[in-house]
Structure 1
Amino acid sequence: MNRRFSRFNLVSVALGLAFLYLPIVVLVIYSFNDSRLVAVWGGWSLRWYVALVDDRAMQEAALNSLGIALASASLATVLGTLAALALTRLGRFRGRLPFAAMLYAPLVMPEVITGLALLLLFVAVGLERGFLTITIAHTTLTLCFVAVVVQSRLVDFDRTLEEAAADLGCPPVKTFLTVTLPGIAPAIAAGFLLAVSLSLDDLVIASFTTGPGATTLPIRIYSEVRLGVKPEINAVCTIFIAVIAVIVIAASLATRRSTTNDAGTPAA
């Protein structure tokens, strides 16, 4: 016990957390700064949050990001779940290795390469860049993450429940909807929330596949930061951090719930 909670371990954890989260804490604090100068503290104020109400460009970018995130996450959840089912339930079918390799490629491939490849694809097929192309790109990016989360749940899923339903005369589709789907629902929800978070956070791929009228919030923030950090950016970043934090916490709770349900399920 003493070894586990030694002073060295506590100091190491504290330094690691400070390195990761101290810049974020400073940004959040300065978002309530009353001064127009970003680096000069002028007291507590909500003036920059109020200023966001009149910033139409930032609001449109936020709405674009939210719409793209929800659309791409929904598509990625459906396709990722189907891919996970194929990898866990179809055995070693012909083409399994290339299928898995293409599915998990975005996990290890640099986003610059993914974004450039998608850009060349859209140009080759003559698809005008905008909301649709960003949605397709983010679906490609997040699909693999959903597949990994759902597949990990399917690997540990108790197949005897499905066999029992089949023995009682339940058709395969109904078995999936009433037995399998509720069992993997927490993993699907976690994958969806993770996909939303990744889409909201993406800058590189969106910058390659965006077009007129489809500016996302990260692109908008980046374009304004290059001209100088304004106090409004601290405020919108704080809101952005809060939204992503809520999504990540919800995904963690969904995953924990799935684990708890597995632990509480009696063995057959």
Structure 2
Amino acid sequence: MNTGRRSVWLLTAMILGYAFLYGPILSLIVYSFNESRLVTVWGGFSTKWYGELLQNQKLLDAAFLSLKIAALTATGAVVLGTLAALVLVRFGRFRGRTLFSGMVTAPLVMPEVITGLALLLLFVALEQLVGWPSGRSMTTIVLAHVTFTMAFVTVVVQSRLAQMDRSIEEAAMDLGARPFKVFMVITLPMIAPSLIAAWLLAFTLSLDDLVIASFVSGPGSTTLPMVVFSSVRLGVTPEINALATIIVALVAVGILVAARIQHRQDKQREKDMQRAYASE
């Protein structure tokens, strides 16, 4: 009896938790098809706001800029974060390791306001000393986001490298392979899933950032979160609901495609193992 009551309570808690998390997203999607301009009053079904979105050049430009910044940020963060993870995992104890590890992971715990202000002061000082970067632009946003997201990439890749069996790499080097070739042929494919996960995480963090971008951006480099935030202060417009619905749909499609690919890979792996056992 107690087990049954516990199961009902857990099921209820789970339903309420998911409703709390996904209810606002569902309401946003529903009201993106609202005829009325008031997002809290249902005026009938309509798709006109998606057409209005295509005419809102300011919102489209901000979305395109955010996607471009996020892609550049994720790529740069994966490269630098992977190098930092290799140093922390493969180089053992070295002088300055504690300081290096603290500097790499500091953005994980540092408030974004402090990070944004520090980077702004850095860019201003660099502009006065060497003339670069000139003003606040997409370049400064990318540099700031790489600094912020590299810490997350380092943690993800470092955990994968620490769990990896190094005997395969050692066997390849015993057979005459150079370290760079071992890394490209053996290490990189083995840590590829963590690199993809780290890239997606960095992409999401950059696309979602508002605080740091507000400090290091300038005229002509307004990101989507900044546009949405400035619009929300005056009231949410249906065009923002439509854009958010499109983004949710793209993310959902990406998740389904990734799950499908993973399912096929798991089935192929099971078949390969069965063939290996049968051949023995």
TM-score (norm 2): 0.86
| Counterpart-to-counterpart distance in 1, 2:205 and 2:95 | 32
CA gap 1:158/1:183 in 2 versus in 1, 3 angstroms: same
Moved more, 251-260 or 97-106: 251-260
What pairs with 1:129-140 in structure 2 (closer than 5 Å)?
Answer: 129-140=136-147
Q: CA RMSD in A?
A: 2.9
What pairs with 1:61-72 in structure 2 (closer than 5 Å)?
Answer: 61-72=62-73
CA contact (8 A) 1:75 1:139 kept: yes
| Counterpart-to-counterpart distance in 1, 2:85 and 2:154 | 5
Quote the residue 2:152 is aligned against: 145
1:66-123 CA-partner distances (Å, limit 9, x unpaired): 1101111110000000001000000011111111111111111111111111111111
Deviation at 1:251, TM superposition (A): 7.9
1:152-187 CA-partner distances (Å, limit 9, x unpaired): 110111100001101111111111110111100111
1:3-41 CA-partner distances (Å, limit 9, x unpaired): 797111111111111111211111111111111221111
- Letter of the aligned partner of 1:23 in structure 2? P
Quote the residue 1:237 is aligned against: 244
- Correspondent of 2:231 among 221, 224, 227: 224
**Structure 1 runs not aligned, ≥5 long:** none
Aligned residue for 1:6, secondary structure, equals helix
1:131-159 CA-partner distances (Å, limit 9, x unpaired): 00000011011101111111111011110
- Correspondent of 1:212 among 204, 215, 219: 219
| Counterpart-to-counterpart distance in 1, 2:174 and 2:209 | 47
Identity across the alignment (%): 56
| Counterpart-to-counterpart distance in 2, 1:248 and 1:198 | 17
Quote the residue 1:93 is aligned against: 94
- Letter of the aligned partner of 1:182 in structure 2? P
- Structure index of larger Rg: 2
| Counterpart-to-counterpart distance in 2, 1:15 and 1:153 | 34
| Counterpart-to-counterpart distance in 1, 2:260 and 2:209 | 23
Quote the residue 1:54 is aligned against: 55
CA gap 1:260/1:166 in 2 versus in 1, 3 angstroms: farther
| Counterpart-to-counterpart distance in 2, 1:206 and 1:165 | 45
| Counterpart-to-counterpart distance in 1, 2:191 and 2:32 | 40
CA contact (8 A) 1:206 1:216 kept: yes
CA gap 1:202/1:260 in 2 versus in 1, 3 angstroms: farther
TM-score (norm 1): 0.90
The reply on whether 1:187 has 2:194 as its aligned counterpart is: yes
| Counterpart-to-counterpart distance in 2, 1:253 and 1:205 | 35
What pairs with 1:8-23 in structure 2 (closer than 5 Å)?
Answer: 8-23=9-24
- Correspondent of 1:154 among 155, 161, 169: 161
CA gap 1:248/1:147 in 2 versus in 1, 3 angstroms: farther
| Counterpart-to-counterpart distance in 2, 1:159 and 1:251 | 28
Aligned residues: 266
| Counterpart-to-counterpart distance in 1, 2:259 and 2:154 | 16
